[in-house]
Amino acid sequence: MLTKKQHELLMLINERLAQTGISPSYDEMKDALGLRSKSGIHRLITGLEERGFIHRMPHRARALEVLKMPEETAVSTPAAGGISSNDIGFDAKVIHGDFKSLSGVTPANEAEAVELPLYGTIAAGAPIEALRGESDHVSVPASLLGHGEHYALEVEGDSMINVGIFNGDTALIQRCDTAENGTIVVALVDDEEVTLKRVRRKGESVALEPANTAFETHIFGPDRVKIQGRLVGLMRKY
The residues annotated as belonging to the active site are 159, 197
In angstroms, rounded to a whole number, what is the distance separating the alpha carbons of residues 93 and 82? Answer: 20
Q: Are 25 and 62 in contact (CB under 8 A)?
A: yes
Question: Which residues in 27-46 are b (16+ Cβ under 10 Å) and which e?
Answer: eebbeebebebebbbebbbe
Helix axes 26-33, 38-50, angle to 10 degrees: 100
Angle at 109 between CA 168 and CA 173, to 5 degrees: 30
**How many CB atoms lie under 10 A from the CB of residue 166?**
13
Backbone angles phi, psi at 66, to 5 degrees: -85, 120
Composition of the chain by helix, strand, coil, percent to 5: 20, 35, 50
